[in-house]
Amino acid sequence: MEYQGKELFRRVGIPTPRGVHATSAADTVAFVAANPGSWVLKSQVMMGGRGKAGGIKFADDAAAAKPLADELFGKVLKNEQNPDGEEVRSLLVEEKVQIASEAYASITIDRAAKKPVIIVSSQGGMDVEEVAEHHPEAISKFWIDPAIGFQPFEARQLAFAAKLPVGYHKAFPKILAGLYQMFMEYGANLVEINPLVLTASGDVIASDAKVELDDNGIYKHPDLNAWRNDGPADEDQAAAVAIGLGMSNYAKFADESGEAPKTIGTIANGAGLGMGTMDAIKSAGGGAANFLDIGGGAQAELVKNSYNLVTSDPRVKAMFINIFGGITRGDQVALGIVEALKGDDVRKVPLVIRLTGTNAEEGRKILAEAGFFPVETMNEGAAKAVALANGAK
């Protein structure tokens, strides 16, 4: 979140506005009362667009701050991208700065170039993708050779190319150097300052901070791991981790207008097959309620927990388990599934299981005898699941 990103900014010498991270309305009001001036109350949430969603307020004294802080704490911010919304649990109370100009600076990984790329724009405070679409001339990029690292000339080159106002020029190389140091040191996927403000008094400060860390690299920074856990993690990810899946092995999909209702739960062994499974359901006229990659072995316990996770979604009316038995034997997989789902502690929905590979025929026989619907191909399974979800017997 912003307050954590700014803490990292300060560690590498990037100037940020004076402020405090407040975890209660009382703390917020007490801070404003003790520090006369104009303050911004910024909701600390993961979602973007919090200003438009009503998550940013302004207060010039404690009396004005109180009702605003009371309103913000516990408020659920929502917008089009986040229909479920996100609850505000803390505020960053920051000095209000007099803005002369707003710029944008970020460093991210360019997958195709396999290099870090610095992106600078003279149009700060806006979505950089929109700027790229409508004012490409305002954006400038530089690809860093990781073997050489960041050099100050890159910042000068970018500042001129993106036509940053002259007031930025002196501070800019130091700010980008700090940003690159942070990007590398913490193994970030993205570090972003938007806006990078030039104040009326001529200072250059990071008014907002966005840092996306690489889950795979987090083990190198146990201090940041602790930070990550105190925020409201993605619910899907938390649910996946709780049953022993990888963080991104499960995702739940919201219903969308103009599309078939999401009534079919899916489990597949492998990410590609999982994606293929949801696509096949869509092709068959249905809607996948989720993506779940159960990984290689499909152990009985994990099958059961995955099944329970997917069917905890009340929209799910039928289930499609798609297993391409490569190395594992089909009859063993079938026995595992039957064992996992035979108890009364699972919600019974019509269950279609696609099973191929070694001993798949024996596997399908076992499944049929247990009352499930075994099929041989993915298309067949998707069609059957859609029919069952729509009430077929």
Partner 1 sequence: MAIFLDKNSKVIVQGITGREGLFHTQRMLAYGTNIVGGVTPGKGGTHVDGGSASAAASNLPVFNTVKDAVDATGATHTIIFVPPPFAADALYEAHDAGIGLAVAITEGIPAHDMLKVVATTKSMRIIGPNCPGLVSPGKALVGIMPSGVFASGRIGMISRSGTLTYEIVDMLTRAGLGQSTCVGIGGDPIIGTTFVDCLEAFANDPETDAIVVCGEIGGSDEEDAAAFIKAHLPNKPCVAFIGGRSAPKGKRLGHAGAIISGNFGTPESKLAAFAAAGVPVADRPSEIPDLLMSRLAMHA
Footprint on this chain of partner 1 (rule: CB under 8 A): 81, 109, 111-112, 114-116, 129, 145-147, 184, 187, 189, 214-217, 219-220, 236, 246, 248-249, 251, 253-254, 256, 268-276, 278-283, 288, 291, 293, 324-327, 356-358, 377-379
User: Is position 180 annotated as part of the catalytic site?
Assistant: no
Alpha-carbon distance 199 to 96, whole Å? 10
Q: Which residue number, 209 or 273, has a Cβ lying nearer to partner 1?
A: 273
Alpha-carbon distance 38 to 66, whole Å? 14
Q: Which residue number, 288 or 351, has a Cβ lying nearer to partner 1?
A: 288
The one catalytic residue among 104, 186, 250, 307: 104
Q: Which residue number, 68 or 77, has a Cβ lying nearer to partner 1?
A: 77
Question: For residue 78, which phi and psi values (nearest 5 degrees)?
Answer: -135, 150
CB of 187 to partner 1, least distance (A): 4
Residue 305 has, within 13 A of its CA and on its CB side, a CA count of 15
CB of 162 to partner 1, least distance (A): 20
Q: Is the peptide bond before 222 cis (omega within 30 degrees of 0)?
A: no
Q: Which residue number, 112 or 166, has a Cβ lying nearer to partner 1?
A: 112
Q: Which residue number, 60 or 214, has a Cβ lying nearer to partner 1?
A: 214
User: Is position 133 annotated as part of the catalytic site?
Assistant: no
Alpha-carbon distance 205 to 197, whole Å? 5
Question: For residue 252, which phi and psi values (nearest 5 degrees)?
Answer: -105, 140
CB of 14 to partner 1, least distance (A): 20
CB of 107 to partner 1, least distance (A): 12
Q: Which residue number, 71 or 313, has a Cβ lying nearer to partner 1?
A: 313
The one catalytic residue among 3, 94, 192, 307: 192
CB of 294 to partner 1, least distance (A): 10
CB of 219 to partner 1, least distance (A): 7
Q: Which residue number, 14 or 268, has a Cβ lying nearer to partner 1?
A: 268
CB of 71 to partner 1, least distance (A): 28
Which residues belong to the active site? 104, 192
